[in-house]
Amino acid sequence: MLPRDRAEKILTLGAAGWSVPAIAAHLGHSEPTIRDYLAGRRTPGVRAPRPSLLTDLFAGYCRQRFAEDPHLRPSTLFNEVTELGFKASRSTFYRELTQRRLAPSSHAQSPTQQATAPDLDEV
């Protein structure tokens, strides 16, 4: 995403009859970027959404594994899906688990922790 003033400069130069290569050279952006703004495929100030790298097949596998073992560590699951062909980074995997709400809640307490946790009213 380009800052609004840069995108508006692209549109102004395009309207003034400048060629795509001339605008790209003048502003220091790639020709495909210039074409996208001139054709309206990109909007100034709006970031394009990232495509999900965690395909439905991998997401289904993750959902199944968490159902089988609610205590499964995401790092272990990352190693499994990597062996199955997932090509993105660990941080991308974690982000997509969170966005798809596949990961178990990290703040949930087990029944043992709930039984031993002091009640704040009693303290």
**Residue 118 vs residues 105, 108, 113, 123: alpha-carbon distances, Å:** 21, 16, 10, 7
Chain mean position to CA 35: 25
| pLDDT < 50 positions in the chain | 107-123
pLDDT tens, residue by residue, 89-112:
898 899 888 888 887 665 344 444
Contact 45, 4 (CB under 8 A): yes
Dig out the tokens for 23 from the structure.
Answer: 């605008």
How confident is the model at residue 83, as a pLDDT? 93
> In the chain, what are the domain boundaries?
4-39, 56-99
How confident is the model at residue 117, as a pLDDT? 46
